[in-house]
Amino acid sequence: MTTEMTLTQARAALAQRKISARELTTAHLAAIENAKVLNAFITLTAERALAMADASDARLKRGEGGLLEGAPLAIKDLFCTQGVRTTAGSKILDGFTPPYESTVSAKLWQAGAVMLGKANLDEFAMGSSNMTSAYGPVINPWKAKSGPAKGRDLVPGGSSGGSASAVAARLALGATGTDTGGSIRQPAAFCGITGIKPTYGRCSRWGIVAFASSLDQAGAFARTVEDTALLLRAMAGHDPKDSTSAAIPVPDYAAGLNGGVKGLRVGIPKEYRVDGMPEAIDKLWVKGAEWLKAGGAEIVEVSLPHTKYALPCYYIVAPAEASSNLARYDGVRFGLRVPADDLIGQYEATRAAGFGREVKRRILIGTYVLSAGYYDAYYLQAQKVRARIAEDFTKAYERCDVILTPTAPSAAFAIGDQLDDPIAMYLNDVFTVPASLAGLPGISVPAGLDAHGLPLGLQLLGRAFDETTVLRAAKALEDAAAFTHRPEPLP
């Protein structure tokens, strides 16, 4: 089947004219139609996709074409797309159609990619399950073969759940995501695919709906490390419109991918052994280290002593920034408006009706920690702890080149579970948040199955702007794991 191809295979088939971009796009649109039950997309852009595919075919026919020419992709609905409604998974953006294109998506179109549609997500990317989307939860294409979740629909993780579900279910060759505290890596692990969050500053944030500006970073999902490397190369690069985007050249990530891990020092942080972690995850982690060792890597134990403070630190920094960023939703310039007699009443009514519960909770806690009298005790202290966490990594990287950890402390759970206890939900990100706070690159690679047949991921973290080494180690891990499992095709 056409949609079974990887991005790399599709590129070769397109270049050799064995398949047309229109055929490839049509096959993916049909797969999406057949997978409506997953609710992976908020908006489909079938007409635009076919027009883009035709333009790709014309370029390919002339022997031209960019890095991703004719490749159908899903775009997380947090990236503004010109002329295509953008929701951020929230009712408060009702009716919003951006008059501009995000830098990252513009770069993808410039590279010849085809937009299939806008992928579902947790509201404003706040969540680890996709259950907070105003457009309904996304369903993970994987099913548990046994255990308590058997027979139930599973979450795809979050916040980029629609992107991950779509790529896992063969509805797109790849997808964009954003990662603030784990929103690419955790859903990649839950859906048995690869997902990379590059270094903060590697991709432009311009035109991405802001959640927490010092943490938000765009990244990519695909079914192989090589595909992920290709997508990242097309997305990354300096953008004068984002003052935090780095003026550093983007390497050809795919070029050195098969270099192996001989001599590479792989750090194992002892603080990542958390209580109550399923045995299968611990075993897989050990196995991952063995695989890399067999490839010639040196395994070293490292210490990241402030790990346990990363989540509470994150839950000050991220909501504080969110409360400030989301102040713009005022019912005046775009999106939902709920009229009231006076202006403040209108703000309050609009925001009460437009934001979901999780978003309100985070705005409220952010407002609290920034409010007079509490700023020093909470926000300032959190920014100092954050510096400590970053320093932990700096010290660890004196002894190692990459760090290997599990991606998440569990496999995908059933829809509806963990929703009552916010802290239990936040714990999903215990292994991904520290690197987010430190701005470092991380990738999740599918590496095995748990006892119930659900995918588990391993995470590799690297030094700032050293995605090349992260991807090279990830490729070695992917080759050793030989993960060929996939979700059952939909009927």
Partner 1 sequence: MALDEATMRKIARLARIRLNDGEVKPFAAELDGLLGWIEQLSEVDTAGVAPMTSVVAMKLPQRADRVTDGGDAAAILANAPETVDGYFVVPKVVE
| Least distance to partner 1, CB of residue 403, Å | 17
- The encoded tokens of residue 51 equal 């027009």
Q: Which of 298, 368, 419, 453 binds partner 1 (CB under 8 A)?
A: 368
Binding of partner 1 by 228 (CB under 8 A): no
Q: Is 51 helix (H, G, I), strand (E, B) or coil?
A: helix
Nearer to partner 1, 168 or 464 (CB): 464
**CA angle 83-85-88, nearest 5°?**
135
Binding of partner 1 by 378 (CB under 8 A): yes
Q: Which of 46, 303, 381, 479 binds partner 1 (CB under 8 A)?
A: 381
Nearer to partner 1, 200 or 272 (CB): 200
Torsion sign across C-alpha atoms 189, 112, 119, 351: positive
Q: Give dist(CA 98, CA 84) in Å, integer.
A: 7
For residue 481, the one-letter residue type is A
Q: Among the residues of 16-95, which ranges form H helices?
A: 21-34, 46-61
Q: Can you say how many angstroms the Cα of residue 276 is from the centroid of all Cα atoms in its chain?
A: 25
R_g of the chain, CA atoms, integer Å: 21
Contact in structure between 25 and 117 (CB atoms under 8 Å): no
Which 449-468 residues touch partner 1, going by CB under 8 A?
Answer: 464-465
Q: Which of 135, 190, 200, 253 binds partner 1 (CB under 8 A)?
A: 200
Q: Among the residues of 334-403, which ranges form H helices?
A: 343-354, 357-370, 381-396
Residue of 160, 183, 436, 444 with catalytic role? 183
Binding of partner 1 by 271 (CB under 8 A): no
Which 425-444 residues touch partner 1, going by CB under 8 A?
Answer: 438-439
Binding of partner 1 by 147 (CB under 8 A): no
Nearer to partner 1, 226 or 466 (CB): 466
Q: Which of 162, 201, 267, 457 binds partner 1 (CB under 8 A)?
A: 201
Nearer to partner 1, 89 or 487 (CB): 89
Nearer to partner 1, 30 or 352 (CB): 352
# chain residues binding partner 1, by CB under 8 A: 72
Binding of partner 1 by 243 (CB under 8 A): yes
Per DSSP bridges, beta strands 265-269 and 217-222 are unpaired
User: Other CB atoms closer than 10 Å to residue 133's CB: what's the count?
Assistant: 27
Nearer to partner 1, 107 or 351 (CB): 351
Q: Which of 58, 286, 364, 424 binds partner 1 (CB under 8 A)?
A: 364
Residue 143 annotated as catalytic: no
Pick from 15, 19, 47, 44: nearest CA to 31: 44
Binding of partner 1 by 267 (CB under 8 A): no
| Least distance to partner 1, CB of residue 94, Å | 10
Give the interface segment with partner 1, choosing from 139-147, 251-259, 273-281, 375-383 (CB under 8 A): 375-383
Q: Give dist(CA 142, CA 325) in Å, integer.
A: 35
Binding of partner 1 by 419 (CB under 8 A): no
- Whose structure tokens read 């239990």? 424
| Least distance to partner 1, CB of residue 466, Å | 12
Residue 183 annotated as catalytic: yes
Binding of partner 1 by 92 (CB under 8 A): no
Q: Which of 286, 352, 424, 451 binds partner 1 (CB under 8 A)?
A: 352
Helices (H) and strands (E) in the chain, counts: 15, 11
User: Other CB atoms closer than 10 Å to residue 13's CB: what's the count?
Assistant: 17
Query: 79-90: b or e for each residue (b if 16 or more CB lie within 10 Å)?
Result: bbbeebbbbbbb
Q: Give dist(CA 203, CA 218) in Å, integer.
A: 6
Binding of partner 1 by 91 (CB under 8 A): no
Q: Give dist(CA 469, CA 460) in Å, integer.
A: 10
Residue 76 annotated as catalytic: yes
Q: Which of 54, 298, 348, 479 binds partner 1 (CB under 8 A)?
A: 348
Peptide bond into 159 cis (omega under 30): yes
Nearer to partner 1, 54 or 94 (CB): 94
Residue of 20, 56, 76, 245 with catalytic role? 76
Binding of partner 1 by 51 (CB under 8 A): no
| Least distance to partner 1, CB of residue 482, Å | 35
| Least distance to partner 1, CB of residue 96, Å | 5
Neighbouring-strand partners of residue 117: 44, 74
Q: Which of 170, 223, 386, 475 binds partner 1 (CB under 8 A)?
A: 386
Q: Which of 385, 415, 447, 481 binds partner 1 (CB under 8 A)?
A: 385
Nearer to partner 1, 12 or 343 (CB): 343
Give the interface segment with partner 1, choosing from 51-59, 136-144, 158-166, 240-248 (CB under 8 A): 240-248
Q: Tell me the DSSP string of 396-418.
A: HTTT-SEEEEES-SS---BTTTT
Q: Give dist(CA 173, CA 24) in Å, integer.
A: 10
Binding of partner 1 by 380 (CB under 8 A): yes
**CA angle 416-122-213, nearest 5°?**
140
Query: For helices 310-325 and 357-370, what crossing angle results, to 10°?
Result: 100
Binding of partner 1 by 409 (CB under 8 A): no
Contact in structure between 469 and 401 (CB atoms under 8 Å): yes
Nearer to partner 1, 297 or 318 (CB): 318
Active site residues: 76, 159, 183
